[in-house]
Amino acid sequence: MKVGYARVSSQDQDYSYQLKALEDAGCQPDMTFKDKASGKHMSRPEFDRMLTYLREGDVVVVWKIDRLGRNFTEMVATLADLFKRGIHIVATSQGVDTSTPMGKAMAYFLGVVAEMELDFNRERTRHSLDLKRQRGITGGRPRHPILSDPKKLAIIREMYDSKRHTVKQICETFGLKDKTSLYRYLRQATA
C-alpha cells in the first residue's frame, strides 16, 4: 500500500504542492499523513502515527527525501528501520525508489545533501547577523511600546502582584496579544 507523508516547517507554510505530487503518485488522501513541524525534530505527531501504521510491503511516498527530516543521523536510523521492516520509500520529485540498490544509495546521499544544505543556511544566517551587528543593526522582535515604558511596566507589575486582576484582564487592558509576552517582560523587569 502507498502511504503519503507531507511536511512543511512552519504553520504559515502550505503543503498543497506536496499533496498534489503524492496524489499523482497514487496516494489516497485518507492514507496521507501531514505535519507542520520542523524537520530537525524527528518526533512529529503525524510522522509518528504513520510509523506505527506502516506494515511490511508498504511504500512511503514523499515529495523529497528531506521531508523525512534533516538530521542525517536520525534520518538514517529511520531509513534503516523502515528497510528492516520491509518498507520502501519513493521521493517523487527526486526519482528515488528504495526498492532498488541504487535507490537506497540515493536516499542516503540525498539525506547527506539535505543536512549539508541546512548547515550552509545556518552558516549564512550567522554570518549575515554578525555583519549586521558590526554595523550596529540588531534584530529580534521589538518590545511592545507599553512595556517599554517603565511607568506602565510598574503599573502592570503592581496589577499582577496584587492578584486582583487576571492575566487575561491585564493583557486586554494593555493590548497585549498573549500572556507569554506579559510573563517575558515581567521577568525582564525583575532581572
Q: Is 38 a catalytic residue?
A: no
Q: CA-CA distance, 77 to 151, in Å (whole number)?
A: 55
Q: CA-CA distance, 54 to 3, in Å (whole number)?
A: 8
Neighbours of 182 (CB within 10 A): 20
**Cα within 13 Å of Cα(166), Cβ side:** 4
Catalytic annotation, pick one of 9, 93, 128, 148:
9
Q: CA-CA distance, 36 to 14, in Å (whole number)?
A: 9
* Torsion angle of C-alpha atoms 167, 173, 174, 177, degrees rounded to 10: 60
The x, y and z cell numbers of residue 59, run together, are 511504500
What residues are labeled active site?
9
